[in-house]
């Protein structure tokens, strides 16, 4: 898929600037514009001279030739932003870092962001507005549903299902075939051996659901 050369980024925090840097470094001389929308003026790096602050998120306007990306790590905010953009008839695009490995048999919805050295395996499915950070493995036939965020060095093993709006911390492992309910949060380094219901808070190895004391 041909990479866009014009981007509108929603979210100017650390993650937003990180993604802006990846886009800038990847496209370099081919990058035409890199716009940033946030409710406060970010402290942009002089190393990104093309990064332009355009205004508050409520005032966002995205032209037909721009790729809109939600660059926010909080899953509730990602969900809210996606609905807000949809109400303005703004369609999310995608950014896939060139070092990522994507199976030709994987399915990626609009809004996916895949950062360096991640692997999306055979038959895997990424839902709308999902963020796959660096060095993440998504196993064969695994599913990550809408608005979920997978932090660096995590592994979603084969046939696992990650629900909507799930946050998975750095270095966490979801073992094969497990289902993680919507809006669950999993702390860094946790290893999940059992299915988890919606709104769980999982931590540890083996991971326990701290919201129900199990």
Where do the DSSP E strands lie in 86-139? Answer: 95-96, 101-102, 107-108, 113-114, 119-120, 125-126, 131-132, 137-138
Q: What is the pTM of this model?
A: 0.93
Give the model confidence (pLDDT) of 35-86 as tens digits: 999 988 765 554 577 788 889 989 999 998 999 999 999 999 999 999 999 9
Give the model confidence (pLDDT) of 125-138 as tens digits: 999 999 999 999 99
pLDDT for 44? 53
Q: Which fold has domain 6-93?
A: Rossmann fold (3.40.50)
pLDDT for 214? 47
Q: Is the pLDDT of residue 1 over 60?
A: no
Active-site annotation holder among 30, 135, 141, 159: 159
- Establish whether 159 is a catalytic residue: yes
CATH number of this structure's domain 96-203: 2.160.10.10
Band (29; pLDDT cuts 50, 70, 90): confident
CA distance 143 to 104: 15
Q: Show Cβ contacts of residue 82 under 8 Å, excluding neighbours closer than 6 positions.
A: 70, 92, 111, 128, 129, 146, 147
**Average pLDDT of the residues in 94-110:** 97
Task: Give the closest residue to 16 by CA, choosing from 40, 153, 170.
Answer: 40
Query: Residue ranges per domain, the chain?
Result: 6-93, 96-203
């Amino acid at each position: 898929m041909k990479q866009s050369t014009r981007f509108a980024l929603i979210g100017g925090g650390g993650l937003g600037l990180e993604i802006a840097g990846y886009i800038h470094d990847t496209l370099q001389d081919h990058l035409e514009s890199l716009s940033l929308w946030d409710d406060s003026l970010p402290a942009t790096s002089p190393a990104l001279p093309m990064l332009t602050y355009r205004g508050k998120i409520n005032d966002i306007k995205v032209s037909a030739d721009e790729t809109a990306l939600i660059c926010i790590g909080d899953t509730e905010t990602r969900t809210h932003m996606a609905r807000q953009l949809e109400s303005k008839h703004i369609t999310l695009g995608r950014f896939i870092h060139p070092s990522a490995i994507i199976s030709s048999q994987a399915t990626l919805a609009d809004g996916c962001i895949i950062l360096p050295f991640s692997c999306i395996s055979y038959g895997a499915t990424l839902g709308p507005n999902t963020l796959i950070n660096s060095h993440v493995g998504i196993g064969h036939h695994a599913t990550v549903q809408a608005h979920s965020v997978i932090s660096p060095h995590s592994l979603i093993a084969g046939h696992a299902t990650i629900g909507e709006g799930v946050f998975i911390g750095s270095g966490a492992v979801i073992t094969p075939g497990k289902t993680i309910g919507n809006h669950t949060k999993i702390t860094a380094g946790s290893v999940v051996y059992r299915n988890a219901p919606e709104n769980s808070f999982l931590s540890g190895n083996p991971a326990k659901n701290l919201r129900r004391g199990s």
